[in-house]
Structure 1
Amino acid sequence: MTASPSSPHITLACAAALTGLSLRTWQRRAEGGQVPRLDDASGRGLVPLQALMDALPPAWGDEDTQTLLDADQGGAAAQADMGARFATAALVADNGADAARNARVALYFLARAADQGEADAMHWMGLLSAAGLDEAGGNPQQTQARALALVAQAAAQGHGIARGQLQALLANGLTAHG
């Protein structure tokens, strides 16, 4: 069945990233009839965005929904925007569980945008890494090296803030090896 354009749907992979549930769990929910599954023209499984509204941040609006849909379709700028929203939430979270959840969602979108050369996404990934909220998991040497590498990549792509940060870090003697 082809997804109806009148109601917003997202891919199963995006639903998994937003909720923290596995892709297989979403597939089982669709197979069991707990959530409607539709397929787009390329055969990707889709679920109604309404099925995971509880997983979205408070004050989620129509503009946020459109950005999410654009990000799910592969738009690098939208992926970077969505990742930045969740990265910001991770960096200001009051508890570790919220920080980790928001960082996980942020990294899902940011990694996809960074793979397309989106400098802002690389910069945000560097910030998350510097805060110990990436896959290095707080290992200080790995975290520092990864943060520096990501900020350097963003700077190389022309990201002005990253260039300034990189210059300041290097002026203070920070290197990838400490």
Structure 2
Amino acid sequence: MMTETVTISLDAVIAMSGRSRRTWWRRIEEGSISKLPADARGRTLLVFGEIRPALGMALTDEEVAMIARADAGDALAQAEAGAMFALRAQKMPGAGSHCAAFYWLEQAAAQGSADAMHWLGMLYAAGRGESGDSQHLALMWIAQAAAQGHAIARQQVHSLTGRVVQQAV
């Protein structure tokens, strides 16, 4: 797949690059980045190949295709992209932040992805979220994943609730 033909929304670029909306609009106005016509959802679109160097990480063509599907609204691709960015941020802290992981995982979770909910719970439990309420958010997301049938999340909730019941008795 040629990244020159793949489009990506400005919001996704901001999340993945860590650069501000203002920075990207300045690049568009300077002509270093091409702005394409808005998509059906009214989102500003850019050419992936033009923004790829600014991401600061190597992406395979398969990963670019997954990100394009995620940006188009595919919940499975969003969850996969979120997991990919979370793992990269853990392995190479300087190579990217968890911001991109949260961006994609939150979109997938909003569509009911139990895997994304579990990933969000685990990231919050590890203190990766920006909220000061990370532990409560971790429990919330893991419980939601369990309610959706996620096997690992169900076991985690069972482990927690079993302890609570034993302590209450």
* TM-score band, normalised by shorter chain: 0.7 to 0.9
Letter paired with 1:161: I
Instruction: Name stretches of at least 5 consecutive residues in structure 1 with no aligned partner.
Output: none
What residue in structure 1 maps to residue 157 of structure 2?
166
Report the RMSD for the aligned CA atoms in angstroms: 2.1
What residue in structure 1 maps to residue 136 of structure 2?
145
What residue in structure 1 maps to residue 77 of structure 2?
78
> For residues 45 and 84 of structure 1, do their structure 2 counterparts lie closer, same or farther at Cα, with a shift above 3 Å needed?
same
Deviation at 1:29, TM superposition (A): 1.2
CA contact (8 A) 2:4 2:50 kept: no
What residue in structure 2 maps to residue 11 of structure 1?
9
What residue in structure 2 maps to residue 128 of structure 1?
123
Question: What is the count of residue pairs matched by the alignment?
Answer: 161
Q: Distance in 1 between matches of 2:6 and 2:150?
A: 33
What residue in structure 2 maps to residue 38 of structure 1?
36
Q: Distance in 2 between matches of 1:135 and 1:162?
A: 22
CA contact (8 A) 1:119 1:159 kept: yes
Q: Distance in 2 between matches of 1:88 and 1:6?
A: 26
The runs of 4+ residues in structure 1 deviating greater than 3 Å are none
Q: Distance in 2 between matches of 1:124 and 1:30?
A: 34
Q: Distance in 1 between matches of 2:163 and 2:88?
A: 29
SS of match in other structure, 2:19? coil
> For residues 83 and 56 of structure 1, do their structure 2 counterparts lie closer, same or farther at Cα, with a shift above 3 Å needed?
farther
Q: Distance in 1 between matches of 2:105 and 2:39?
A: 26
Q: Distance in 2 between matches of 1:39 and 1:57?
A: 27
Q: TM-score, normalised by structure 1?
A: 0.81
SS of match in other structure, 1:117? coil
Instruction: Name stretches of at least 5 consecutive residues in structure 2 with no aligned partner.
Output: none
Deviation at 1:39, TM superposition (A): 1.2
> For residues 56 and 163 of structure 1, do their structure 2 counterparts lie closer, same or farther at Cα, with a shift above 3 Å needed?
farther
Deviation at 1:74, TM superposition (A): 1.0
